[in-house]
Amino acid sequence: LGCRSTMQAARCPTDELSLTNCAVVNEKDLQSGQHVTVKTTPTHKFVFTVKCHHSVVPGTIAFSLPQRKWAGLSIGQEVEVSNYNFDKSKQCVGAMTMEIDFLQKKSTDSNPFDSDKMAGEFIQQFNNQGFTVGQQLVFSFCDKLFGLLVKDIEAMDPSILKGEPASGKKQKIEIGLLVGNSQVIFEKAESSSLNLVGKAKTKEARQTIINPDWNFERMGIGGLDKEFSDIFRRAFASRVFPPDIVEQMGCKHVKGILLYGPPGCGKTLMARQIGKMLNAREPKIVNGPEILNKYVGESEANIRKLFAEAEEEQKRLGANSGLHIIIFDELDAICKQRGTGASSTGVHDTVVNQLLSKIDGVEQLNNILVIGMRTHSGILTVEVWPCDTELKAWKGLPAQKGRLQILNIHTAKMREFNLLSSDVDLSELAAETKNYSGAELEGLVRAAQSTAMNRHIKASTTVEVDMEKAEKLQVHRADFLGSLNNDIKPAFGTNQEDYSSYIMNGIIKWGDPVTRVLDDGELLVQQTKNSDRTPLVSVLLEGPPHSGKTALAAKISEDSQFPFIKICSPDKMIGHSEISKCQAIKKVFDDAYKSQLSCVVVDDIERLLDYVPIGPRFSNLVLQALLVLLKKPPPKGRKLLIIGTTSRKDVLQEMEMLDAFSTTIHIPNISTGEHLVEALELLGSFTDKERATIAQQVKGKRVWIGIKKLLMLIEMSLQMDQEYRVSKFLSLLRDEGA
């Protein structure tokens, strides 16, 4: 070929040659690897790299369909072809951005494609080829065909080419030559369902989720800073962070928040402010009762309508979908525990099932945030819904080995991208998470991730991510332990706060009687654990009021370290009818049967039975239920320890309940002056001199006082001035008849 020649456009002879992005010629006309300018009209020129093939007729130049589309060529058209030489000091590609999508919309694939491997393969396939902004080509990767469009080309820094440090100057060019150290960046085409992962992809231009005009100082929520910061940390930290870092963590967004508290505590205000704060669509606000409809299936259809828009957008835009907020006011109107509806039709059950399938079903949505509100006694509490937790106990909770496997699965991506700190010991976490279900373990990992992310978010008046630090983000052991203590508690098993409240002052070992009780308790725990002949062990702690029976029962159960510990206490059943009291007691025992090792404390039995000496009166229904449950052995392979407490052994004897317990342990009051002084010394409330004075007064005398009552008298005495404390204490002892 001379300086310029006229050639005829032809069709590319094979599919393989179409994928090379080269114009194909006969070896008599040009050499492989040469670059040419193809002039189609006096004003339109296009640069191609050529490849030789024997099947091309001399005098013709063959183009693939994407090339013909780009250059506006038709078969048989005459074009002017001339040599093109790249100026390697100015025209080497430093970085090239390509828009990518599946070539055929029908052959979509939801699997993630690694953009880093893709970039490496692209440079190998198209090394030393010329590219022009606006050029279209086909690229084969992992047996899939992709359509590419060159969006932007940046020239390589001349300083790098000379082997000097980069000058930092960036020069945009129209035509560039791809070389081995060029950088190729892939950008997903708009509305494409392609799932790209890795660093060789552009940080998607996405709208920030927090409204840019939002100012935290003008929020208008008083006294709820902690609750609001909890919501922000758990629900929004992952949505504020760049999606590629979230992707590397394998982090899932939180899809539900439950606000519950008494009327007027700020639930609705907080939900409204969250809606305003987020740069999302107008929240859909639903009053619970509006969902219900008298016609069968209509209530479920109303739930589906709420999620229809989010569902359609997720199908269309995938990860680029905006956030849809649905606020449920009076959630308890539609969400009752399944199987408890008074109606025989079970209409509530199907509504709850429909709602759960949308939030956490098989085809779950990732572009929704459901904020539920319900009235509840106590303070305002914020809960993140990890998932449907109702049936996890029936499926069986994972053992320690299973928990370790689950934690390994949920932290695999973090380990792959070095986002998990070396101080995180998953074996330690598996040991600490007794009674956690798989979903709660996933929730724990999510909570730790959100705590770590929250460290790199600067939320002063506005919200910004500290990108320099975010690049070095790591999840530490402290993040997991913080989430373990504060965020994620198992729905099944042991409520530590429950039994810790009974022993907040510790156990005062004022003498041998207390030590004997604890030793006997330890023996019964070991018997429950080790004996196959007695899977059911029950013990009654009986003694005078204020002798510390409940505290000792709680201590024995806590020291047992059984996975399931529950205290069945009358204070949880105030106002219950006889039937509902029986159901509540039965539920505690039913839950206990699901665990391998369980301990149930039945506290203050005479109060549970509504016993009063005047009359006398008691609940025969509750008595019969307890008599049955105290004797019922747990299912095969399960062990159960029952600890009862009572101040009226004589009454239980008449009711024939004493025989239902395997053994009885007497809890005595403090009965000697020496024991009283020992208790004072252990409590450490009085000075040595004061204790000596008290010891002198009580020496050799018979006393009779419960440890709980003694503690109360001491605390009353300590409110006096120092010189009157001892006399006040002794006077109180005399008044009590102790």
**Which one from 49, 528, 550, 645 is the annotated catalytic residue?**
550
Residue 604 is a catalytic residue: yes
Q: Residue 665: which of 519, 563, 567, 503 has the closest Cα?
A: 519
Q: Residue 173: which of 317, 358, 59, 47 has the closest Cα?
A: 47
The DSSP line for 162-216 is TTSPP-----B-SEEE--TT-EEEEEEPTT---EEESSSB-------SB-TT--G
Give the burial class of 719: count Cβ atoms within 10 A of its Cβ; 0-12 exposed, 13-18 middle, 19 or more buried. exposed
Torsional class of 297: left (φ above 0), alpha (ψ -120 to 50), beta (otherwise): left
B/e letters for 553-570, b = 16+ CB within 10 Å, e = fewer, are: bbbbbbebebbbbbbbbb
Do you find a cis peptide bond into 289, omega within 30 degrees of 0? Answer: no
Specify whether the CB–CB gap between 589 and 629 falls below 8 A. yes
CA distance 364 to 357: 7
User: Using alpha carbons only, what angle is made at residue 452 by residues 449 and 455, rounded to the nearest 5 degrees?
Assistant: 150
**Which one from 549, 581, 639, 709 is the annotated catalytic residue?**
549
Specify whether the CB–CB gap between 85 and 35 falls below 8 A. yes
Specify whether the CB–CB gap between 40 and 77 falls below 8 A. yes
CA distance 128 to 333: 68
> At 463, which helix (H) or strand (E)?
strand 463-465
Residue 116 is a catalytic residue: no
Residue 157 is a catalytic residue: no
Residue 708 is a catalytic residue: yes
Residue 590 is a catalytic residue: no
CA distance 236 to 459: 12
End-to-end alpha carbon distance in the chain? 121
Question: How far is C-alpha 722 from the geometric centre of its chain's CA atoms?
Answer: 54
CA distance 160 to 175: 19
Residue 550 is a catalytic residue: yes
Give the burial class of 232: count Cβ atoms within 10 A of its Cβ; 0-12 exposed, 13-18 middle, 19 or more buried. buried
Beta bridge partners of residue 617, listed in sequence order = 612
Q: Name, in order, each residue with C-beta under 8 angstroms of 68's C-beta and a sequence gap of 6 or more.
A: 9, 74, 75
Beta-carbon count within 10 A of 425 CB: 12
Give the amino acid at 415: R
**Which one from 594, 604, 645, 709 is the annotated catalytic residue?**
604
User: Using alpha carbons only, what angle is made at residue 413 by residues 411 and 417, rounded to the nearest 5 degrees?
Assistant: 120
**Which one from 151, 336, 509, 708 is the annotated catalytic residue?**
708
CA distance 736 to 724: 18
User: Using alpha carbons only, what angle is made at residue 433 by residues 429 and 438, rounded to the nearest 5 degrees?
Assistant: 100
**Which one from 170, 199, 315, 631 is the annotated catalytic residue?**
631
Q: Please tell me whether residue 245 adopts helix, strand or coil conformation.
A: helix
Give the catalytic positions in this structure. Answer: 549-550, 603-604, 631, 708
